[in-house]
Amino acid sequence: MADMNGKNISSSELHELEIFGSRVNKYGANFAFYKTDGELALLLKSGRFDSNRELLKKYGQQALNQNSHTDQTKDFFSQVMQFGDTNHVMAVILNSSCFNTRRGEAVGVAMIDVGEASPAHIVKTGTDAGDANPMRIGNKYFVEMLGLLAKQFQNKMESEKQIEMVSTELARVYEELVLLHKISTNMRVTEADSNFLQMACDSLTEIIFVEGIAVLLEKTIENEQQLVIAAGSGLIDMDEQMAAILHGRIIEEINSGKEALLDSEVDSPFRYDWPDNIRNIIAVPLCGKEKVESHIAGRIKNDNYIIGFMVAINRVGKQDFDSTDVKLFNSVASGCAVFIENGRLFKDLKELFIGSLKALTSSIDAKDKYTHGHSERVAFISRWIAERLSEHEPLKEEEINEIYMAGLLHDIGKIGIDEAVLRKNGRLTEQEFARIKTHPSIGAGILREIKQMREIVSGVLCHHERVDGKGYPNGLTGEKIPLTGKIVGLADSFDAMTSKRTYRDAMTVEQALAEIEKGLGTQFDEKIGRIFLDSDVYSLWDSIRDGLGEITQSGVYAEYDTAAVETLIR
């Protein structure tokens, strides 16, 4: 029976500990979990004897104290300790992983109590308490069990943190790319400089909070060329003299190899003299390729010319501007410079975004050499199916683009799956297959955090569902499976069947089509599957196999990528 108090333990973690504890109970021992805050959060009893709660708390704290005094360079976790006069309580630290260190942060102590009276106790081999086949085992078995539990717990925490980091980073990068795309799409020839630059400043400060920001450009005032504020907001004041001084300092910094002028007194005194209201400052140049008739525009490395600069003071929420801020400021400043020179950044930004997505999908495909290029092929096949479907029923171009993007990202959740499982030769165990089956949910969880990608989440989540309800992760049936999931699932299956795997050779197109025909109404949606089978599949096959290089060079993929990105950001 269980005596538990899990206020600060997640339900999934508590459930896993309960499962482990129930296994321990079958061998006549009790299981407990002691949290770092001094609370005995879980006590599972076998019924053979009662454990002393206060004594378990004492041993749990002693284990944590030993942990705190252990050499920080050693891996203390997964080392099992024993307590009591007869070593009847075994304990191990459970920890969360800290990246870039060998040591993590303890979250609690798992303990097995075999009872003071029996250091080697009776264990029933059956589930029936009256089983007549008892055997005696010592504590060594329980020590091994606890060691495995600690390693399993640590691996799980590492995986969860990796997923969280990827989700956070992808959301941040996407937010920045949306900003850069917004700037790019507002580069209209008829737009006034002041309106565009003001929009750039306002948009940038929605991501990076500052007390003041300004863009300075060269203007002719009373027949004199001066650097003046063309746009900005907040508490910033820049007269002609200060602007000239800052301009000279930026040229000096850039020519010395820096990406920006950064100055603060956080880690050391200011390198330059600034007005009293400035605590920290960042300034980045607006660079042009063309030489201009100007007494001010300064020439820098790579034969570029500074035609103005963006400056911001007093970072809010951080002590100072960091390298991430520098990159984003430089990106926005570059956009402004291109606008001023009547250029356009839109194409480059879209390529940057789709390149980031493809780099991500390529890193996933790279986990398994047999799935190289799988994500791009599934995206291409998914779009093919969607276009054939649009010939029979209304389907907006926007929906087709979303289906393409869902195909491209359908396996993003595999970033949370161990490479050893993905690359395993031979049949997977039930546990390994259960882990594989979590990748749609992991992928949906990552993309769900990005508002602009929520329309493709259903396709990522449901691409392994079957119309007969035997799919995963939710066992959906028939019309409960979203259209995108049905299409991407069919495309994924076709590419998987026609690709070589560790456990089998690739099928021929004829064999794959026969399998799809056989699966209509069970694995595949009958209508979508029939539309695919009735289409010119051999033309599709030639495109994705023999003609893949030509298609890439002709820009077909790029056109699809561009259209998909525009749909997401719009």
Q: Which residue has the tokens 């970072």?
A: 315
CATH number at 230 reads 3.30.450.40
**Domain assignment present for 178:** no
| pLDDT value at residue 425 | 75
Residues 59 and 79 in one domain: yes
The residue with greater pLDDT, 106 or 328, is 328
CATH of residue 17's domain is: 3.30.450
Q: What is the pLDDT of residue 519?
A: 95
Given 160, 180, 207, the domain boundary residue is 160
| Same domain (yes/no): 98, 118 | yes
Closest Cα partner for 251 from 284, 224, 277, 282? 284
Nearest to 36 by CA among 112, 110, 109, 98: 109
Tell me, yes or no, whether 42 and 146 share the same domain.
yes
Is residue 169 in a domain?
Answer: no
Query: Tens digit of pLDDT for each residue in 10-30?
Result: 777 778 899 999 999 998 899
CATH of the domain at 381: 1.10.3210.10
The pLDDT score that the predictor gives to residue 477 is 94
Same domain, 222 and 144: no
How confident is the model over 177-201, as a mean pLDDT?
Answer: 74
Whether the per-residue pLDDT at 5 is higher than 60: the answer is no
Specify whether 396 is located in the same domain as 334: no
Q: Report d(CA 472, CA 463) in Å as an integer.
A: 9
pLDDT at 217: 86
Residues 6+ away with beta carbon under 8 Å from 408: 357, 358, 361, 375, 376, 378, 379, 564
Same-domain check for residues 79 and 215: no
pLDDT: which is higher, 391 or 238: 391
Q: Same domain for 268 and 371?
A: no
Last residue of a domain, one of 298, 328, 343: 343
If asked whether residues 147 and 109 sit together in one domain, one would say: yes
Over residues 453-465, the mean pLDDT reads: 91
Cβ pair 528, 486 in contact under 8 A: yes
**Full-model pTM:** 0.48
59 is a domain residue: yes
pLDDT tens for 88-133 read 899 998 876 433 334 457 889 999 999 876 544 444 444 444 433 3
Weakest mean pLDDT among 19-23, 78-82, 104-108, 293-297: 293-297
Angle (CA) 35-41-46 rounded to 5° is 125
Does residue 155 sit within a domain? yes
88 and 131 share a domain?
yes
Q: Domain for residue 166, yes or no?
A: no
The arithmetic mean of pLDDT across residues 437-443, rounded, is: 92
Q: Which of 457-461, 488-492, 539-543 has the lowest mean pLDDT?
A: 539-543
| Domain coverage including residue 130 | 2-160
Looking at the fold, whether 337 and 361 belong to one and the same domain comes out as no
In a domain, 174, yes or no: no
**Residues 452, 333 within the same domain:** no
Tokens of 101: 């260190």
Final residue belonging to a domain, choices 319, 343, 367: 343
Residues 362 and 500 in one domain: yes
